[in-house]
Every structure is written in C-alpha cells, then in structure tokens.
Structure 1
Amino acid sequence: MKTIKIAGVPEHFNLPWHLCLENGEFEEAGIDLQWTDVPEGTGKMCQMLRNGETDIAVILSEGIVKDIIAGNPSKIVQVYVESPLIWGIHVDAKSDYKTLSDLENTKVAISRMGSGSHLMAIVNAQNQGWKTNDLQFEIVNTIDGAVEALSAGKANYFMWEKFMTKPLVDNGTFRRIADCPTPWPCFVIAVRNEMLEKHPQTIALILEIINATTEEFKNIPSINRTLSERYNQKVDDINQWLNQTRWSQKNITTATLNKVQNQLLDLNIINKKSNFAEIVHSF
C-alpha cells in the first residue's frame, strides 16, 4: 500500500475526492490516499508542496503557475475544474460601500500573499482600471479571519468563491457587491516532482480513479442534496453552482497556460514566463 498525501480546500468542488475515499476506491487500488483540508487555500498549499507536507494539491491555476515559476518543485498534471471560479466581492453588510467603484483605494483582505484572493484582487483592480501598484492588503488566513477583519474595519473588502461565501451573505454578515470570474479554468492538480519521478504509475492511477468519478458526478442521485447538507448551502444555490461547474479529465493546454502566464506577467505578478515542460507534466 503506497501512502500519498493530498491537500485541497474544504469546498464543494472537492466532494468527488471524498466520495472516492469513502467508497474505498483508492484503497482497492493499493493506495493509502491521505486527504488534508486546507481552509487557508492556495498560498498555504504552495508552501505545503514546497515543504513536502503534501504530495498532491488540488489548487488554483494562477497560484500554482506563479509558484512553479518562482521555484516550487512541482508540476501541473491535469485540469480538475474546467469552468471559471466565480469570485464574489464582499463587504461588511453594515458598511456604506454599495458599488465596486466605491472600493478603489481601500484595503482588501486576502488569505495570504500568492493566494487566489491576492492574485484575483490584482486581476479585478486591472479590470476596473485601478492602479494595481496602489493596492493595500490585510492578511487574514481564512474566511473567519476575513469576517473579523471586515467587521473591525481592518480591511474593506474580501474576494472568495461566491457560493461558499453565500451563507455569510444570507445571514447578513457580508454583502456581495459584484462578481469577478477567473479568465481561465479554476482548479488544477499539481504534484511534487519527486513523486512524479518515483511513483508515476501511482499518480496516473489516482487521476484515473478521480476522473471516473468527476465524469459521472452530476448524475449521482440526489447529489445536490448531498452537497447542500455537507457544505451548508441552499439546494437552489447548489443547483445553480452545479449548472455552471464543469470538471475536467484532461491536462492544461499550451494556449490556456499562455493565457495565465501572459496575464500574470502583465500584472507584474511574475517577471518571466516558463516553457510548457517546466510547468506541466504529461503522462
């Protein structure tokens, strides 16, 4: 039995992994896949890959591309979710901010530097024609940290996946004033180079198992109710999310990788582009 460590956010996107684990599918294939929930998100998972605390990460495309270019010894092996992530732009419900333009020159709460909430705040600022160099950041680590920072006035807005944050909008903690979709597929699967060199067949088998589940995921009976109960979401919201979410069973394309790198370069998030083979592993 090979032990492989995997990390991902505790969000509805990752239910396919948990179903495979609960059904014993990895175990049947001789793999002890050990899942770690990482509420801090992509920046923390990049650090875990670098430190060898995890072998695999289900991670935001822009965050891992940036970190591989910066020396993370890992590669993308597959796109996991093909559709964009819809980032909600949230303010404290009691604040006076009503429109996106009200947030120019205010402070944004982010989970950590290099995280999706950090990089997408820069993408959003560029979309709005704001000066990206003038952005101010408050590191809050998690959604709970963001609630605290916004209510205390330490930060003024927070960007996080729209549906996972909706319970906080529904209960009057946050108000969502706009959405900002990623201009590329949102989640990829990244693996440490050491694992790709030592256990390529095991990694390929893990992908085969998860892909069989994501391919059929939307057809699982009452999957909307399962998601609703596990992730504290209204069934109507889950139905909307399921309609717009597309899982992938294929690797990232050269065109998509170029799109991500070009935008990151344009925003001064990276200072150089890497070639396809330095970022992506093809089986």
Structure 2
Amino acid sequence: MKKVNIGGVPEHFNLAWYLTLKNGEYKDIGINLRWHDYPGGTGDMCKALRNKDIDIAVILTEGIITDIINGNPSKIVQTFVQSPLIWGIHVAHDSEYKSIEDIKGTKAAISRYGSGSHLMAYINAEKNNWNLEKDLNFEVIKNLEGAVEGLTNGTGDYFLWEKFTTKPLVDNGVFRRIGNCTSPWPCFVIAVRNDFIGSNKDDLDAILKIINNTTREFKDIPSIDKTIANRYKQQIDDVQEWLNLTEWSQELIDENTIMTVQKELYNLNIIPKIVGYNKLVTKL
C-alpha cells in the first residue's frame, strides 16, 4: 500500500479529511494516507514540505506562495477553501488595549515568521495606514497555546488567528477580540512537493477526487453542525455562521488571484519579486 503524508491545521476547515480517513476511503484504493496536525500553522507546514516530512499540505494561500518564491520546491495543485479567512484580532482579556488604533506600534504575537499570523499582521497594518517599519513588531509564540501564554503574560500584545477557532477562548474570557481582518483571497490551497507530483500523479489525482467528492456535499452531511461543535468545542450558532460563510473549491486557483496575492505581498516587501503563474501552480 502506498504511504502518503499530508499535513494541515487541526481546525474545522479540515474535518472533511478526517471524515474520509475515518471511512477508509483512501485505503480502499490502496493509499495509506497519514494525516499530521500542524498547530503551528503555515510556517511549520512549509518547513515540513521542505524537509520531506509531508508530501501534501492544506495550507494558507499567501503563506505557501511566499515560501515557494523563497525556494520551497512545491506547487499549488488546487484551491481547497474558496472563501476568505476571517482573522480575529485578539488581545488578553484584561489588556488595556480596546481598539485597533491602541495596538499600533505594539508587539504582534506570531506563530513563526512566514506564517499567516505574521503575513496578516502586515495586511492589517496596511489596511489601517500604519508605518510598516515603525508600527510593526513581532514576538514568536509557536502556536495558539503559545499565544494564550504570551498574551496573558505580556510577551505579546495582540494576535491574529481564525476567529471561529479562537471564539471559545473569547467566550471563556482568555482573549478579547477587538476587530477582524479578512484575507482578500481564497484562504486555503492544496500544495504538493514537486518530486511527489512528478512520480505520484495518479495517486494525487485519486486523493483529490475523494476529498473533492466530500467537500462538494459537506454542508449536506446530516447534523454536520453538531459534529463540528462537539469535535472543536464550538457553540452551535458559531458553527452555523461559519458554515454559511465558508465555500470549498474543487478547482485550480486562477492566474488573476495568484497575481493579486503576489502584488499585495510584494507591496508589503514580504516577497522579493513577482513570478509567473506556472512557477507557483501546476495543473494535474
């Protein structure tokens, strides 16, 4: 049986992978697909792709584009979630900061450099007309648990993370959300190492066919809202709101979107150059 390693964040966006794995759908076609959780997010997955710890990553669009341009030998093969990500901007519950303006010039907690929490801090700064050199400072906290500790003890001042994932921490009085920042593009793509694409195209096609069949009908799965609420310790109302806002995709990301992301990243000095569509994307 062919072993394939895949990584993603342990969040509700990836429940479709869990369901198809639980049902044994990959083993039925001779593929031993092994899921690896990356609570540290995109930066950790980029490193795992480079180190060949995983073959496939379900990863933030802006993060993998940045890392491919910086030498990650991988390509995007499909959009996974078409809708944008809503990033909550969080401070400690008892923080003195009450508004976005209050956190200007303070320290953003980030999971690691090159992560979504890092890149979206730039997007938020630009959106609010901050000085990107003077008003942005960073403290690496590794993951959501590290953010809880960092914001609570004051090593970081604010933290951007997907707002539904952090909602229980807001409800429990650990974080306070002072605003949102929405990514201006589809949030998750599927990226694959180039050497894996070259030698395992049929297996990759088969894996994508299975997951796409599930995401097409994901919202119609009986009691899916209750399943998500129980598994991810969410309120049912929040899950239903999230389901209404979220759209999966089974298509390859288009060239205009790739250029939009690159132009934004280039303007923020996050990437050194803008590259051609085929440097970042491959059509299977």
TM-score by length of 1: 0.99
Cα separation, 2, equivalents of 1:95 and 1:19: 39
State yes or no: 1:174 paired with 2:175: yes
The residue number in structure 2 matching 1:98 is 98
- Find the residue that maps to 2:76 and give its secondary structure: strand
Offset of residue 10 of structure 1: 0.2
The residue number in structure 1 matching 2:160 is 159
The residue number in structure 1 matching 2:82 is 82
The residue number in structure 1 matching 2:222 is 221
Deviations 1:188-245 (A, max 9, x none): 0000000000001111111111000000000000000000000010000000000000
- Find the residue that maps to 2:275 and give its secondary structure: coil
The residue number in structure 1 matching 2:55 is 55
Cα separation, 2, equivalents of 1:186 and 1:132: 23
Offset of residue 154 of structure 1: 0.8
Cα separation, 2, equivalents of 1:21 and 1:147: 31
- Find the residue that maps to 2:133 and give its secondary structure: helix
Matches within 5 A, 1:113-262: 113-134=113-134, 135-262=136-263
Cα separation, 2, equivalents of 1:275 and 1:2: 33
Cα separation, 2, equivalents of 1:99 and 1:3: 48
- Find the residue that maps to 1:132 and give its secondary structure: coil
Aligned AA (1:120): M
Cα separation, 2, equivalents of 1:92 and 1:249: 38
Cα separation, 2, equivalents of 1:142 and 1:199: 32
The residue number in structure 1 matching 2:32 is 32
Offset of residue 133 of structure 1: 1.7
Offset of residue 132 of structure 1: 1.2
- Find the residue that maps to 1:248 and give its secondary structure: coil
Aligned AA (1:166): K
Aligned AA (2:117): S
Cα separation, 1, equivalents of 2:18 and 2:150: 31
Aligned AA (2:107): K
- In structure 2, the gaps of 5 or more residues are none
After superposition, the CA RMSD in angstroms is: 0.5
Count of residues in Structure 1 that have an aligned counterpart in Structure 2 = 283
- Find the residue that maps to 1:155 and give its secondary structure: coil
Runs of 4+ in 1 over 6 A off after TM superposition: none
The residue number in structure 2 matching 1:46 is 46
Deviations 1:128-153 (A, max 9, x none): 00011221100000111111111111
Cα separation, 2, equivalents of 1:271 and 1:42: 19
